Structure 1
């Protein structure tokens, strides 16, 4: 089946649920047994529910994976993958330009627990073999990266890591399964903040993991059940509903982002535009090979590289809400230095290029003429 069909029908059989066209919400914490010691598919909601199972199967289908796992947030999903693959004394190598929440987890939770964390520029996959050590147990990637939309070669990096028996995890939140499938490119684990594009309406908090290796699946599933960071049925139902229109929304997000990037490239108030769909983007050719389109995020450096200028533009915007998240139907603007990456030390922000004049734009599905008009008035002197 094609993507849109899998997104709408995948992982669910109405005949097992009284022919309900939509997966029902099993609003229960327990399931009754007939006999002591009876093995049931569901017994306690932390371990699993039919609503959550439908979402997990749907994710596996659209990521071309064997298994899906749902968590209470994107960070809970990342944490479960880290705990399932790393122990004290191990090393994780992570792409340097990554989400601030992942950086915080790595440096302030895992590193004090005895895990070595190394951040690396992975734009050249040929450099990876020289970085891998005897204790390296996980390679953590984002592509596109957050917030500067760097592109890394998932296939080449996966091949290099797996040649040494090291699993590869990819945060696919920005691309979504509609634009990119890391498992098809050789990765072992895919992670999503489903709070973003998969939910798509800024009304749910949820994380997802997709994996095909059964041993990895069992390890992550053990953490899911043992730690209990699982979503409730209402959250699962909201993401299931969102996935059904993912292909439609992503086409509009991509259309609008391409127009926005082109508009901002010629604007005197903008010093630089980060968008992999632009021919001048250093990862453009690679993105064209491993993605189907270029996504709905555009980041910019303002010509006036100050917090005051960034605040002035953000506060002038009428359609764009100043907010932490991304991927909803509405347009959002994020000041990365104080919001999504606010927990990074000042010197790390400087090294990565997360400047005061950086704004990350999540381009919504509003009419493009209204989006462009809003940006034009906000960027006026």
Structure 2
């Protein structure tokens, strides 16, 4: 009975729908065309947000309460995204019609099984962090048996991880702190944006003893779905055509159409792939959860330390001077290899005027760039 109930469409509350609308407005303010175009192909559509946070004890009551609230509210959050006209249209372009149907029932979207086969024809490990033990207390963690082979899926990603408490008091489970993100582990994590953000930017900063306070540079996707599209769009006409094919009744504001085109230009090539040089570090991070021996608390802490040390090499390539990486402050003369735009601090958010001015111009198709249209 429980399963059949989960398969029904969920009716999101008016209060949650209002929070989704507020989330969209916030992304419209910070996700300007200029800012999206400033992002590098290694992390297109990602900006940095400086946030003061405090590390929680993963075995403590506060963290477990956050996890319980997240598990309880996630289905309604997904349904609310599928209900809002703007996020529904963005969902169609990001996760497809079947994905939107799953969201209406409160389920995370998943990619079709046959689409998870690697491009070289090899079917690699598909097990996702979401289904093993990431959100479960140690006492109830369970590794799935080998027979369980779930398809690649998207997951709800906490922008500020739920293991960190924002000192401004904002709930980690607020819709403004959640993004539906790809967690595709097949193909050697080729399209696993979720674990890339954790392994390369978040974990090297946030591997801290409980109670530690830090000004962290948090990678924030500038779209409610990330990546917002696996298909390249050269202009807004192509966005409209694809959306009409998916759902003739769906409508997406022109400003978001322009943002999608800007994302495609920033990415250079779609579907977005995590650079191959980063994937070994991602596997080290995943081993925190995948290796059975790391269920032992001491072994887990050693695995977390290894992932933070290895990830620090990548974090230094993305983070600005002043960031603290694996316990060390980046020097004043530090220059990041990949320049991610830094969001303005609260109260100094850019106006929408700039976005509409730049977004009104037509984006031309890149000349003879066949990789852009693969």
Which structure shows the bigger proportion of residues in helix conformation? 2
TM-score (normalizing by structure 1): 0.25
Calculate the TM-score normalised by the size of structure 2.
0.25
